[in-house]
Amino acid sequence: MPHAAAEPVSPSSYRHPSAARRLSLAGLAAVGVSFGFARYGYGLFLPDIRAEFDLPLSVVGMIGSATYAGYLGALLLVGLCAARVGPRVLVTIGGCSATAGMAIVALAQQWPWLVAGLVLAGTSPGWVWAPFSDAVDRALPPGRRERVLALIPSGTAFGVAVAGPLAMVMYGTAWRYAWLVFAIGAFAATVYNVRVLPSGPAAPARERRAAALSLSWFARRGVAPLALTALSYGCTGSVYWLLAVDTITAAGVSGGGSRTAAVFWTITGVAGMTGVATGAVFARLGLRRSHVLIFSLLSVAAALLWAAPGTPLGVGLSAILYGPSFMAGSALLAVWSYQVFPERPTAGFSATVFFLGVGTIAGPATAGVLADRHGAQAALLAAAILAAATCSTALPSAKGAGPRRLRRRASPRP
């Protein structure tokens, strides 16, 4: 197992400036393989997978529901166990889930094995993302934490930017080779994270300051707008991922099929790479104005596919706007949650991402009903309206994040 070869990393070693770079790279890699490969790779290769295994739509729906259920289950376990085992163990579990799951998918000869691999790989995002809140808090000085937290979610864009071109060249029966590449990438990312992340439970002094987890612990000032924002972000994002390619294909932008999906999501992923600058944007604008900007751009991106799904300009602009705003939305939730739950960052962020997951489940279900009755474009319009309405959930001042810079914490370290 990868973790057997790693030696504990001294906390003092993280004070060096390169510590932030190492932790950022570890987070980008873990999020990239778990979201960009394990989660969104299924959608990129779904036409080829369905064709080979002759999957009925009922099985496709079952796979989607099972992966989301596993994702939420992993989040709950992370929130409960983070303080006891530390971030390294949780991220390692997620990395191993992604590696094993995607390898099973690549080698599966019957659809039950395919489903098992997809579900196992689909749990990995629930394991890997939230623990970085604790890792960053424990390993970095206050002035660096929120910028790194804002950077890590953009790993999804890098993962999609790699997966998209692979889907363009490894289509048809060659899709299995892409999933082997995914599995190898996940293994490499896991090994690197084992070497970089802090191990063990939180320091005793920090544990004494943290209250026991309970519903009353989560019910604190600032939670309601954060939870509503996460719920809306999950809804709008999942509806866009679900309906974007079908809408532009039906409108006749290109020939359709898996190649259309690959090109569209590659553009989205490449544009989303600009998410590496999210921390600087937050520092300049503050969380409130960044919140309004992000959801305004998400609204415009969805509205463009409602208004002009048959024009290359409208489709391209939608992808270019959606990529950075979607990645920045993840960063917003990470930083905002860290400010609301400073004493137990991973537990708090797990709760935040749980609301995101609920939105991810509710969004497609609601959009599917709306699309059946009024068409996919109507569902995209509803997503655009929801994103615009979410601008109102921003706090007047997001827990102290000023208009020019991120708040720098001065709380004593254990």
CATH code where residue 68 lies: 1.20.1250.20
Number of H helices, E strands in the chain: 18, 0
Judgement on whether residues 71 and 174 belong to the same structural domain of the protein? yes
Q: Is the same domain home to 196 and 218?
A: no
Q: What integer is the mean pLDDT of 316-325?
A: 94
Tokens 């993280």 sit on residue: 14
Query: How is residue 119 written in tokens?
Result: 């579900």
Q: Among 201, 230, 259, where does a domain finish?
A: 201
State residue 332's pLDDT score.
93
Percent above pLDDT 70 for the chain: 85
Average pLDDT, the chain: 83
Look at residues 201, 227, 262 and tell me which one is the last residue of a structural domain.
Answer: 201
- Do residues 246 and 175 share a domain? no
The reply to whether 276 and 333 lie within a common domain is: yes
- Flag whether 88 is in a domain: yes
Decide if pLDDT at 413 tops 60: no
The residue behind tokens 């939105």 is 359
Answer whether residue 6 is part of any domain.
no
Same domain, yes or no: 54 and 135? yes
Task: Give mean pLDDT, residues 366-383.
Answer: 87
Question: Which pLDDT does position 8 carry in this prediction?
Answer: 41
What is residue 214's predicted lDDT score, i.e. its pLDDT?
61
Cut 0.85: pTM above it:
no
Q: Based on the domain organization, do 324 and 399 belong to the same domain?
A: yes
Catalogue the E-assigned strands of 85-191.
none
As a whole number, mean pLDDT of residues 244-266 equals 74
Amino acid 99: pLDDT: 98
322/392: higher pLDDT: 322
In a domain, 162, yes or no: yes
Asked whether residue 195 falls in the same domain as residue 218, the answer is no
The helix or strand, by DSSP H or E, that contains position 301, with its residue range, turns out to be helix 278-307
Residue 35 lies in a domain: yes
Same domain flag for 176 and 221: no
201, 230, 258 — which closes off a domain?
201
Q: Does residue 293 have a pLDDT over 90?
A: yes
- pLDDT(7) > 80: no
Residue 5 falls inside a structural domain: no
Q: Is 209 within the bounds of a domain?
A: no
Q: Are residues 155 and 258 in the same domain?
A: no
Q: Is residue 413 part of a domain?
A: no
* Band of residue 283 on the pLDDT scale cut at 50, 70, 90: confident
Please check whether residue 414 lies inside any domain of the structure: no
The pLDDT score that the predictor gives to residue 34 is 95
Query: Do 258 and 392 sit in the same domain of this protein?
Result: yes
- 61 vs 345, which has greater pLDDT? 345
- Domain identity same for 292 and 383: yes
Counting beta carbons within 10 angstroms of the beta carbon of residue 345, is it exposed (0 to 12), middle (13 to 18) or buried (19 or more)? buried
Long-range contacts of 140-144 (CB under 8 A, 24+ apart): 140/14, 140/19, 140/20, 140/23, 141/15, 142/408, 142/409, 142/410, 142/411, 143/408, 144/20
pLDDT score at 141: 85
Number of domains in the chain: 2
**Full domain range(s) for residue 220:** 214-405
DSSP code at position 10? P
Q: How far apart are CA 369 and CA 378, in angstroms?
A: 11
Considering the domain architecture, whether residues 236 and 363 belong to the same structural domain is answered as: yes
Least trusted range by pLDDT, from 256-260, 353-357, 374-378 = 256-260
